[in-house]
Chains A and B, each alone.
Chain A
Amino acid sequence: MLITEILNALQFSMTLFLLSIGLTIVFGLMKIVNLAHGTLYMLGAYLGLSIWTFSNSFWLAFFFAPLATALIGAILYSCLFKFIQRVDPMRQVLLTFGLIYVGLDSVRLLWGSMSHSISAPELLSNSIQIVGETYPTYRLFVIFVGLFVLVVLYFLLEKSKMGAMVRASVDDHETTQMLGINTNKILFYSFSLGCGLAGLAGVTVAPIVGVEAGMDMEVLVLTLIVVVVGGPGSLKGALVGSLLIGFIDTFGKVFFPELALITMYAAMALILIFKPDGMYSKL
């Protein structure tokens, strides 16, 4: 019983991590709270759905949907986001909130209002026995994807030159620019990467939670909670926040199911009382 719950919590945490990492990078670099982040997650899932439907291959969807989402992110950055960084937050909120509606209606127009689902690949569609408990293999795969992204991002950001530039840009944008680093290029790539990760989250969890219009708003709230709890702009915060919220929510549902709707918010409120800026704020 306990092992199932721990794996469930871990799987949920990893999904949250994939989502919040993109949002927090964009916030750290550009000081933009991208409310349309959930929309990119939804687009990732829908693009995955289309690729899967046409090619009948989950793996093609899994690799190309995040790439396509990153491409959409790149276009969004060049056309819109480039112009609203470090401006009055109200303008950012209006723009990104507007994008939510555009995204929602586009999805409905292109894919209709039916709920869909993607089947897990043959290899991962069964369950395995872990200490006497039946557990779906695909969920283990989701945990693996989250851990993989975590490791790759760690090396990319902490060990590479590009990563050093990104971190410098987060810490002090102006000084980094003065040192002759092309921050625009960094922003462009990081923003696209963040969007791609949202798309990756969408297509990865699609076999579990399905694909439907409106899935964007649900994860947006979750992601914002994680980012607020972890501390906006902090990568470590995104990881710790995801784990905290993932475990609290899952175990809350197991032990206090009547309170399922509010456990997460209560946890957030409690954490913010003691750490008003989040666990690892970079503000």
Chain B
Amino acid sequence: MGALVSMKYKIFLMIIVFILFTSSLSKAENIKIGLLLPYSGAVAIIGEEITNALELAFEEVNFEVSGRKLEIIRADSEYKPNIALKKARELISSEKVDILAGTVSSSVALAVRDLVVATKTPFIVANAGANQITREKCSKYIIRVSFSNHQINAPMGPWLSNYGIKTAFLLSANYAAGKEQMAAFKNTFEESGGKIVGEEYTPHRKTKDFGPYLGRIKNSGADAVYVFYAGGEAINFIKQAHSFGLSDVMKITGAGWTTSPLFIPAQKESALGFIGILNYVPSIETDVNKNFKRMYQEKYGRIASEFAVQGYDVGKMIIEAVQSLSGNTSDKNLLAEKLSKVSILGPRGRLDIDPKTNNVIQNMYVFEVVNSDEGPILKVLDKIEAVKDPGTNCLL
């Protein structure tokens, strides 16, 4: 009996030793990328898109660069800064990730900002658009491949002005991102001679019915309404604006997420005629994009959104940076530096990282939603090349 117990005990010990041994092996070999994204809650879909496409980029190289395996560790940010900070701490100190990537929300990005700078962990921003991330809060460890809120909306001021829009009404959700986007557009639109006749900020993620606002906008007499919404709010706004006949009296325009390929299937014909601006639209006619779109559609069964593209580019950047280091990522300073020096040709077009701010330099696409055989699509009207964020107050 005693022998049996000690036998069991020995096997148990051996298993433990084996587990410890293999895990220490993998620790030495894998390049760990911590993904801090919302995997639950209303914005889980964006986390899903970014992760899907990042995996797609890694699959192209079979999850291996310069002899080292790429390992993705997911952490659910729950879209909450305090929880995300805790998870980021775990990723950095327990999991010892080489690179942190993600955050959909700007508040989450800002919450982990000091942590990544203090621990010198290269942090690739895959969505969060708050201007300050690459302005006063910029750091050589923070590289943004997504966009800044200013960068997306600023080119639309002169563009719409040229298009013949003289007066505009601003409408967006009442939170930092909404206000930054509106401010960027307002600024350049007024500089181009346009006039803002009214603005309204609706309770963020609490507005289901835009009826009370639509009446006011309709009666404002503006040439256009400039909006920014995402998710359910974008779907509801577009559908309700259509049912109230808003497009009969003015042009509906705005930041392009409002009619993202994620929402168009629900918005259907009511999105027709919307003019938007974004860093990616599926109809970009390049081989890189066509190839990416096909692969994404095959694997996940839907059209890749701009969020997915950002995830894909994050993956491509990591691969290129690790390659340039021949797989040696032990020096975090060097890794961050290499990440900020990569230049890739992604589905969006050419991407460079601005050495002044570490924010991406990219094309902006002005599009209109038009009908096609497969339902409404985003047709590119104009391409504005190599758009930068001014990066005011950033000292790198």
Binding site for B on A (CB under 8 A): 1, 4-5, 8, 11-12, 108, 112-117, 119-120, 125, 127, 134-136, 138-139, 207-210, 212-215, 218, 250-251, 253-254, 257-258, 260-261
Pairwise interchain contact A214-B41, C-beta atoms closer than 8 A: yes
Chain B residues near A114 (CB-CB < 8 A): 45, 262, 266
Chain A residues near B41 (CB-CB < 8 A): 214
Known: A116-B266, A210-B208, A257-B200. 14 other contacts (CB 8 A): A8-B215, A113-B42, A115-B231, A115-B263, A115-B266, A127-B244, A134-B248, A136-B243, A138-B243, A208-B208, A208-B239, A210-B236, A257-B201, A257-B202
B218-239 interface mask toward A, CB cutoff 8 Å, 1 = contact, 0 = none? 0100000000000110011001
B192-223 interface mask toward A, CB cutoff 8 Å, 1 = contact, 0 = none? 00000000111100111101110110010000
Tell me if B394 is interfacial: C-beta within 8 Å of chain A. Answer: no
B364 nearest CB across to chain A (Å)? 25
Pairwise interchain contact B231-A212, C-beta atoms closer than 8 A: yes
Tell me if B375 is interfacial: C-beta within 8 Å of chain A. Answer: no
A119 nearest CB across to chain B (Å)? 7
Interchain Cβ contacts under 8 Å between A and B, 16 examples: A12-B209, A12-B211, A112-B45, A113-B44, A113-B48, A115-B263, A117-B267, A209-B208, A210-B239, A214-B41, A253-B212, A253-B213, A254-B216, A257-B201, A257-B213, A261-B206
How far is B211's CA from A250's CA once the two chains are assembled, in angstroms? 8
How far is B42's CA from A113's CA once the two chains are assembled, in angstroms? 7
Tell me if B355 is interfacial: C-beta within 8 Å of chain A. Answer: no
How far is B266's CA from A115's CA once the two chains are assembled, in angstroms? 8
Pairwise interchain contact A108-B236, C-beta atoms closer than 8 A: no
Pairwise interchain contact A134-B263, C-beta atoms closer than 8 A: no
How far is B240's CA from A127's CA once the two chains are assembled, in angstroms? 11
Partner of A5, one of B212, B231, B236, B245: B212
Pairwise interchain contact A254-B208, C-beta atoms closer than 8 A: no
B165 nearest CB across to chain A (Å)? 22
How far is B202's CA from A56's CA once the two chains are assembled, in angstroms? 33
Chain B residues near A127 (CB-CB < 8 A): 243-245
Closest A-B pairs by Cβ, 10 of them: A136-B243, A117-B266, A253-B212, A8-B211, A209-B208, A134-B245, A113-B44, A115-B232, A261-B203, A212-B232
How far is B323's CA from A231's CA once the two chains are assembled, in angstroms? 68
B18-43 interface mask toward A, CB cutoff 8 Å, 1 = contact, 0 = none? 00000000000000000000001110
A113 nearest CB across to chain B (Å)? 4
Chain A residues near B209 (CB-CB < 8 A): 8, 12, 208-209
How far is B267's CA from A116's CA once the two chains are assembled, in angstroms? 9
Pairwise interchain contact A117-B244, C-beta atoms closer than 8 A: no
Residue of A nearest to B239 (CB): A117
How far is B234's CA from A210's CA once the two chains are assembled, in angstroms? 10
B227 nearest CB across to chain A (Å)? 15
Tell me if B251 is interfacial: C-beta within 8 Å of chain A. Answer: no
How far is B208's CA from A115's CA once the two chains are assembled, in angstroms? 13
Known contacts A115-B263, A210-B232, A213-B42; A250 and B219 CB within 8 A of each other: no
How far is B270's CA from A119's CA once the two chains are assembled, in angstroms? 10
Pairwise interchain contact B44-A208, C-beta atoms closer than 8 A: no
Chain B contacts with A in 249-291, Cβ cutoff 8 A: 262-263, 266-268
Chain B residues near A254 (CB-CB < 8 A): 212, 215-216
Chain A residues near B263 (CB-CB < 8 A): 115
Pairwise interchain contact B236-A208, C-beta atoms closer than 8 A: yes
Chain A residues near B203 (CB-CB < 8 A): 260-261
Chain A residues near B239 (CB-CB < 8 A): 117, 207-208, 210
How far is B207's CA from A116's CA once the two chains are assembled, in angstroms? 16
Residue of B nearest to A261 (CB): B203
Pairwise interchain contact B44-A139, C-beta atoms closer than 8 A: no
B377 nearest CB across to chain A (Å)? 18
B166 nearest CB across to chain A (Å)? 23
A162 nearest CB across to chain B (Å)? 35
How far is B231's CA from A218's CA once the two chains are assembled, in angstroms? 15
Chain B residues near A116 (CB-CB < 8 A): 266
A100 nearest CB across to chain B (Å)? 14
Chain B residues near A212 (CB-CB < 8 A): 42, 231-232
